Structure 1
Amino acid sequence: MAMYLSAKEIDALAGVTKQHFLNPRAIRLNKSLGDAVGLKHLGVHLIHVAPGHYSTEYHAHLYEEECLYILAGRGLATLGDHPQAVGPGDFIGCPTNGVAHDLYNDGDAPLTCLVIGQRLDQDVSDYPRQGKRLYRNSGEWNLVDHAAIETLER
């Protein structure tokens, strides 16, 4: 597997259109640069989000960290309850157990970002607007309603 990709090779990579399973308006064209060079524990994706679409559903990871670097276009990042206009050169860091976040293309041109995140075998993600929690465990995904989560006393 290659450990180097030229700009020409990246441009030639076939992008995969992905829609988030909880948000039909979260559609992006994804080029997995990390997969192309054999990274196993770090996801590195070049994404393009069309105007009027989100990159993902509003969420927060409890264990994985992720970040976004805006390369082109304009958008609106929601970080907790705070909307933030973003554009080329802006950086968003999402530490573990941090605030929920999403990214929306409110412009009239594609929004292009580099998205980097951990690939842990286990993670928990909350989707506050959906009232859902996703448990991801070694390839198995379990989605539950927040109301169904029982906290056990130890």
Structure 2
Amino acid sequence: MTLKQPSQLLTAVDIEAMSASISVHDLNPNAVRHKKSLGDSVGLTQLGVYIITIMPGHESSEYHRHLYEEEFAYVLSGRGEAQIGEQVCSIGPGDFLGFARRGPAHVMVNTGSEPLVCLVSGQRLEHDVCDYPRKGLRLYIAGENEVHVKL
């Protein structure tokens, strides 16, 4: 008798077979991410959980900070840099980055010659405020509605 795999389980084979979607951040055309949504695949609604791949020379997002949501990144492979506030730090396999709400602005950049692959997760709060210091913008999120305003 063969048991059906529970819908809450993604095996390594399942994840490897998943197609990655490519997304480009609205405020940073160099923030090109290849994403596999693990959380959506198992029905998570309050957490976004992804494996993202950032190709050499690209960034993870626009330099930003959340006022209410928390997020993290765990580097699986590749090398790069993380700018956290005013500090630039080298990152590589096994490194963990945690970003508490109201923490410093941050972004990851693939400065290596191989893809930078990370497990990333963040909350999916219905309401959030996100600052983009380099752009001088603040994003207000209320459900499906998003509004950018100048700081």
Bin of the TM-score, shorter chain as denominator length: over 0.9
Q: CA deviation at 1:48?
A: 0.3
The CA distance in 2 between the partners of 1:55 and 1:8, in whole Å, is 25
Map of 1:152 onto structure 2: none
Q: CA deviation at 1:110?
A: 0.1
Give the AA of the match of 1:98. G
The CA distance in 2 between the partners of 1:2 and 1:145, in whole Å, is 43
Q: CA deviation at 1:80?
A: 0.2
Q: CA deviation at 1:2?
A: 1.6
Q: CA deviation at 1:73?
A: 0.1
Q: How does 1:1-154 map to 2 (within 5 A)?
A: 2-146=7-151
SS at match of 1:83: strand
In the superposition, the TM-score normalised over structure 1's length comes to 0.94
Stretches (4+) displaced over 3 A: none
Give CA deviations for 1:74-112 in whole Å, capped at 9, x if unaligned. 010000000000000000000000000000000000000
Identity value in percent: 50
Q: CA deviation at 1:139?
A: 0.9
Give CA deviations for 1:25-75 in whole Å, capped at 9, x if unaligned. 000100000000000000100000000000111000000000000000001
Give the AA of the match of 2:103. G
Give the AA of the match of 1:14. S
The CA distance in 2 between the partners of 1:27 and 1:117, in whole Å, is 18
Q: Count the aligned residue pairs.
A: 146
SS at match of 1:117: strand
In the superposition, the TM-score normalised over structure 2's length comes to 0.95
